A and B are shown apart, each in its own frame.
Chain A
Amino acid sequence: MFHTDTIAAISTGMTSSGIGIIRISGPDAIAIADKVYDSRSGKKLENMPTHTIHYGFIRDGEEFIDEVLVMLMRGPRSFTAEDTVEINCHGGVYAMNRILELVIRKGARPAQPGEFTKRAFLNGRIDLSQAEAVIDVINAKNEYALKSSVSQLKGSVLKVIKDIREKIIYHIAYIESALDDPEHISLDGYPKQLEEQVEQWKEKIRTLIASSENGKRMKEGIRTVIVGKPNAGKSSLLNVLLGEERAIVTDIAGTTRDVLEEQMSLSGISLNIIDTAGIRSTEDVVEKIGVKKAKTYARDADLIIYVVDSSTGLDENDEEIMEMIRDRKAIVLLNKMDLDCITTEEDIRKHLDKPVIPVSAKEEQGIDRLEQTVKDMFYDGSISFNDEIYITNMRQKAALKEALDSLEQVSVSIQNQMPEDFFSIDMMNAYEELGSITGESVGEDLVNEIFSKFCMGK
Chain B
Amino acid sequence: MNHLEITTDVVVVGAGHAGCEAALACARLGLKTVIFTVSVDSIALMPCNPNVGGSSKGHLVREIDALGGEMGKNIDQTFIQSKMLNGSKGPAVHSLRAQADKKDYSSRMRKTLENTPNLTIKQAEVTEIIVEDGVLTGVKTFSGAVYHCKACVLCTGTYLKARCIYGDISNYTGPNGLQAANHLTDSLKANGIEMFRFKTGTPARIDKRTIDFSKMEEQFGDKRVVPFSFSTDPDDVQIDQISCWLTYTNEKTHEIIRANLDRSPLYSGMIEGTGPRYCPSIEDKVVRFADKNRHQVFIEPEGRYTNEMYVGGMSSSLPEDVQIAMYRSVPGLEHAEIVRNAYAIEYDCINARQLKPTLEFKKIQGLFSGGQFNGSSGYEEAAAQGLAAGINAAMKTLGREQVVFDRSESYIGVLIDDLVTKDNKEPYRMMTSRSEYRLLLRQDNADQRLTPLGHQIGLIDEETYQNLLEKERQIAEETKRVEHLNIGANPAVQAFLEAHQSTPLKTGTTLGELIRRPELDYEMLGELDPQRPQLNRGVGEQVNINIKYDGYIKRQLKQVEHFKKLENKKIPEGIHYEEIHGLRIEAQQKLNQFRPISVGQASRISGVSPADISVLLIYMEQMNHASHR
Please report the number of residue pairs spanning A and B whose Cβ atoms sit closer than 8 angstroms: 126
* A139 adjacent to chain B (CB < 8 Å): yes
Q: Take A128-B622, A447-B434, A457-B280 as given contacts and tell me if A179 and B315 are in contact as well, using a CB distance cutoff of 8 Å.
A: no
Chain B residues 111 to 166 lying within 8 A of chain A, measured CB to CB, are none
Selected from A142, A182, A422, the residue in CB contact (under 8 A) with B611 is A142
Selected from B93, B518, B519, B556, the residue in CB contact (under 8 A) with A418 is B518
Interface size on B, residues (CB 8 A): 58
* A450 adjacent to chain B (CB < 8 Å): yes
Selected from B519, B562, B582, B621, the residue in CB contact (under 8 A) with A136 is B582
- Flag if A455 contacts B288 (CB, 8 Å): yes
- Flag if B565 contacts A2 (CB, 8 Å): yes
Distance between B467 CB and nearest chain A CB, rounded to angstroms? 30
- The digit string for A89-104, where 1 denotes a CB below 8 A from any CB of B, is 0000000000000000
- Flag if A121 contacts B618 (CB, 8 Å): yes
Q: Take A128-B626, A422-B90, A455-B292 as given contacts and tell me if A138 and B285 are in contact as well, using a CB distance cutoff of 8 Å.
A: no
Chain A residues 405 to 458 lying within 8 A of chain B, measured CB to CB, are 416-422, 424-425, 428, 443-444, 446-447, 450-452, 455-458
Selected from B296, B433, B438, B582, the residue in CB contact (under 8 A) with A184 is B296
Selected from A179, A450, A452, the residue in CB contact (under 8 A) with B93 is A179
Q: Take A421-B92, A451-B278, A458-B279 as given contacts and tell me if A138 and B625 are in contact as well, using a CB distance cutoff of 8 Å.
A: no
- Flag if B49 contacts A446 (CB, 8 Å): no
Selected from B292, B296, B611, B621, the residue in CB contact (under 8 A) with A183 is B296
- Flag if B611 contacts A138 (CB, 8 Å): yes
Cα-based distance from A224 to B626 in the complex (angstroms)? 46
- Flag if B433 contacts A447 (CB, 8 Å): yes
Place the interface of chain A in its size category.
35 or more
Chain A residues 125 to 181 lying within 8 A of chain B, measured CB to CB, are 128, 131-132, 134-136, 138-139, 142, 172, 176, 179-181
Residues on the A chain within 8 Å of B625, using CB:
124, 128
Chain A residues 223 to 252 lying within 8 A of chain B, measured CB to CB, are none
* A4 adjacent to chain B (CB < 8 Å): yes
- Flag if B49 contacts A458 (CB, 8 Å): yes
Chain B residues 162 to 221 lying within 8 A of chain A, measured CB to CB, are 203
- Flag if B89 contacts A419 (CB, 8 Å): yes
- Flag if B85 contacts A182 (CB, 8 Å): yes
* A122 adjacent to chain B (CB < 8 Å): yes
* A202 adjacent to chain B (CB < 8 Å): no
* A74 adjacent to chain B (CB < 8 Å): no
Residues on the A chain within 8 Å of B400, using CB:
none
- Flag if B88 contacts A139 (CB, 8 Å): no
Cα-based distance from A412 to B615 in the complex (angstroms)? 40
Chain B residues 238 to 287 lying within 8 A of chain A, measured CB to CB, are 246, 276-280, 285
- Flag if A181 contacts B55 (CB, 8 Å): yes
- Flag if B611 contacts A139 (CB, 8 Å): yes
Residues on the B chain within 8 Å of A420, using CB:
89-90
Q: Take A4-B562, A457-B280 as given contacts and tell me if A122 and B617 are in contact as well, using a CB distance cutoff of 8 Å.
A: yes
Cα-based distance from A386 to B577 in the complex (angstroms)? 31
Cα-based distance from A107 to B86 in the complex (angstroms)? 37
* B431 adjacent to chain A (CB < 8 Å): yes
User: By DSSP majority rule, is chain A's interface helix, strand, loop, or mixed?
Assistant: helix
Cα-based distance from A146 to B512 in the complex (angstroms)? 48
Residues on the B chain within 8 Å of A443, using CB:
606
Cα-based distance from A118 to B611 in the complex (angstroms)? 11
Chain B residues 410 to 465 lying within 8 A of chain A, measured CB to CB, are 422, 431-434, 436, 438-439
- The digit string for B222-234, where 1 denotes a CB below 8 A from any CB of A, is 0000000000000
Residues on the A chain within 8 Å of B298, using CB:
183, 458
- Flag if B582 contacts A179 (CB, 8 Å): no
- Most chain-B Cβ atoms within 10 A of its Cβ — which of A134, A142, A183, A450? A183
Q: Take A132-B581, A421-B89 as given contacts and tell me if A138 and B434 are in contact as well, using a CB distance cutoff of 8 Å.
A: no
Residues on the B chain within 8 Å of A118, using CB:
614, 617-618
Selected from A132, A182, A458, the residue in CB contact (under 8 A) with B86 is A182
Cα-based distance from A416 to B621 in the complex (angstroms)? 47
Residues on the B chain within 8 Å of A456, using CB:
278
Q: Take A179-B89, A425-B439 as given contacts and tell me if A139 and B55 are in contact as well, using a CB distance cutoff of 8 Å.
A: no
Q: Take A121-B621, A418-B518 as given contacts and tell me if A179 and B614 are in contact as well, using a CB distance cutoff of 8 Å.
A: no
- Flag if A418 contacts B618 (CB, 8 Å): no
- Flag if B422 contacts A139 (CB, 8 Å): no
- Flag if A422 contacts B552 (CB, 8 Å): yes
* B626 to chain A: closest residue by CB: A128
Distance between B457 CB and nearest chain A CB, rounded to angstroms? 30
Cα-based distance from A112 to B613 in the complex (angstroms)? 13
| Known contacts A420-B90, A424-B433, A455-B295, then 7 further A-B pairs from the complex at CB < 8 Å, ordered by chain A residue | A131-B621, A182-B89, A184-B296, A417-B519, A418-B90, A447-B433, A457-B313
13 inter-chain pairs at a CB distance below 8 angstroms, sorted by A residue, are A112-B610, A121-B618, A122-B617, A136-B582, A138-B582, A138-B618, A179-B55, A180-B56, A416-B518, A419-B93, A422-B90, A446-B433, A455-B285
Residues of A that sit less than 8 Å from B by CB: 2, 4, 112-114, 118, 121-122, 124, 128, 131-132, 134-136, 138-139, 142, 172, 176, 179-184, 416-422, 424-425, 428, 443-444, 446-447, 450-452, 455-458
